[in-house]
Structure 1
Amino acid sequence: MAEETNLQTTNGRKVGIGAYIALFVAILFFSGIFMKVDGMKWISAFDFTSLSGTFGTMKDPAKNTFIGAGGVSAKAGFLFALSLVPTVMLALGCLEIFSHYGAIRAAHKLLTPFLKPLLGLPGLTGLALITDLQSTDAGAALTKNLYDDKQITKKELVVMSAWQYSGAGMINNYFAIGSALFAVLTAPVIIPLLLMFVLKFVGAMFVRFVLNTVYKEDFRDEQ
């Protein structure tokens, strides 16, 4: 209770209506809701994935991208990592804006009653988890920031990583790659997506159980 009170009044600012609005906008921005809206293509301008965009391709896109073809070793790895930088920087910049307006404090107050019993996570991790639904790398970067700032413990970091690793970038990958199978699905398109979302929680809950039993001693200092 004391921890929650402290987080709600970070920097002497309580959770007000502006913080809830910032959280609501952040959820819409990172959730992928605006990515593809029939008849309203312009609204995708308010979506994280749309703003991240893509790099162009070389003259023969079937063989080459901007990193060329046949790259190996450290140079190829560096160029691939370079392609991730714009997305991560955009996510961190947007999160900084949302945090300034109180989104983290609002997330902690609203999501803790939901995340704490299920995953043992404070509500302030909510934005990082939501971001992971569209961008694996951005979600990981936000999670690292929370750990570096000592806002989450090592155990919470592992549970968050388990949630993110399972079905990482779920929304973006599902509609970008999984759409090739939509024509042969016998169930509504939304059903597999919901199943993956539920299984992310199942996987994280299992990891939490293992950490609290088999590896309990490893985290005794964090209690």
Structure 2
Amino acid sequence: MSDTQISEDKPAVEAEEWKVGKGAYIALVAVILMFSGAFLKVGGMPWLGAFDFTTLGGAFGTMKNSGTDTFIGSGGLSAKAGFLFALSLVPTVMLALGLLEIFTHYGAIRAAHKLLTPLLKPILGIPGHTGLALITDLQSTDAGAALSKELFDSKRITRKDVVIMGAWQYSGAGLINNYFTIGSAMFASLTIPVIVPLLLMFVMKFVGAVFVRFVLSTVYKRDFDNE
């Protein structure tokens, strides 16, 4: 096959790769609902929690004679403590990657690319298929980071995209999960609706990422000239 024929076939192959059908949109909606926390606590329908990522991830049990300590224990130091902490992240990350691989197979990435690019490209300068990593980060920083790495390793995003995504993800990392667990201790003291601080933090994630995008496009512009 000639070089001319190869170049003619390439756009057709790429178009087929990003073709989006009804199943892809269903997969996208399913993954968003699972990772966004929408099913975490639904009044009158607690059974929906069975489809939530945090619920599926579960929790380690406590040691028999040590109160609230898990198998990580308390008072650990240095490399050994770090190893046990990293080990505790493995089940959640493996579960997230397994689920995302299934949804990707059914076209969730393609649907996210088509639907979210008009939103994410003008605001953050990143393609729409990064949306799943950002959505996943709302509940699990580890799973969001793992998916971001997978996108980078497969060359679907650039180094600049990764930095912008990192700025979005780790500004209020694991937002929904942490807000309704750790932050719930302050709910009784709030003089405004509980949802307001959550929305404010969500908006500020975009503000921080836009600022980082601006810095990368000005001060550090030369670092990405070859991309």
Q: TM-score band, normalised by the shorter chain?
A: over 0.9
Cα deviations by residue, 1:113-157 (Å, 9 ceiling, x for unpaired)? 000000001000000000000001100000000001100000000
RMSD: 1.7
Aligned pair partner of 1:32 in 29, 33, 37? 37
Measured in 1, the distance between the counterparts of 2:69 and 2:91 equals: 20
Tell me the TM-score normalised to structure 2 length. 0.92
CA contact (8 A) 1:8 1:108 kept: no
Greater Rg by CA: 2
2:172 corresponds to 1:188 = no
- Residue matched to 1:104: 109
What amino acid sits opposite 1:9 in the alignment?
Answer: E
Choose which of 83, 108, 123 in structure 2 pairs with 1:118.
123
CA distance in 2 between partners of 1:90 and 1:61 (Å): 28
Q: Output aligned runs, 1:1-20, within 5 Å.
A: 9-10=16-17, 14-20=19-25
Q: Does 1:141 align with 2:146?
A: yes
* Counterparts of 1:63 and 1:14, CA distance in 2: 50
Change over 3 Å in CA distance of 1:9–1:71 after alignment to 2: same
Query: Structure 2 CA distance, aligned partners of 1:8 and 1:176?
Result: 43
| Matched-pair contact (CA < 8 Å) for 1:22–1:102 | yes
Matching residue's letter, 2:70: T
3-state SS of paired residue (2:71): coil
Paired with 2:202 and 2:12, the residues of 1 have a C-alpha distance of: 30
- Matched residues in 2 for 1:143 and 1:90: separation? 15
Cα distance between partner residues in 2 of 1:143 and 1:205: 18
Contact 1:163 1:201 in 2 (8 A): yes
**Structure 1: which amino acid aligns with 2:16?**
T
**Residues 5 and 102 of structure 1: CA distance in aligned 2, closer, same or farther (over 3 Å):** farther
8 A contact 1:8–1:106 mirrored in 2: no
> Where in structure 2 are the equivalents of 1:143-182 lying within 5 Å?
143-182=148-187
Q: How many residues align?
A: 218
Please say if residues 120 and 156 of structure 1, whose CA atoms lie closer than 8 Å, have aligned partners that are also in contact. Answer: yes
Which one-letter code corresponds to 1:194 in the other structure? L
CA contact (8 A) 2:62 2:68 kept: no
Listed as ranges, the gaps of 5+ residues in structure 1 are none
* Residues in 2 aligned to 1:63 and 1:25: alpha-carbon distance in whole angstroms: 34
The Cα offsets for residues 46-93 of structure 1, whole Å up to 9 and x where unpaired, read as 000100010001124545221122211211111100000000000000
User: d(CA) in 2 for partners of 1:180 and 1:60?
Assistant: 27
**Distance in structure 2 (CA, Å) of the matches to 1:172 and 1:38:** 17
Shift of 1:6: 6.8
Deviations 1:168-192 (A, max 9, x none): 0000000001000001100100000
Match of 1:22 in 2: 27
Answer yes or no: is 1:90 the counterpart of 2:95: yes
Matches within 5 A, 1:195-206: 195-206=200-211
Partner letter of residue 59 of structure 1?
A: K
| In structure 1, C-alpha distance between the alignment counterparts of 2:128 and 2:13, rounded to whole Å | 13
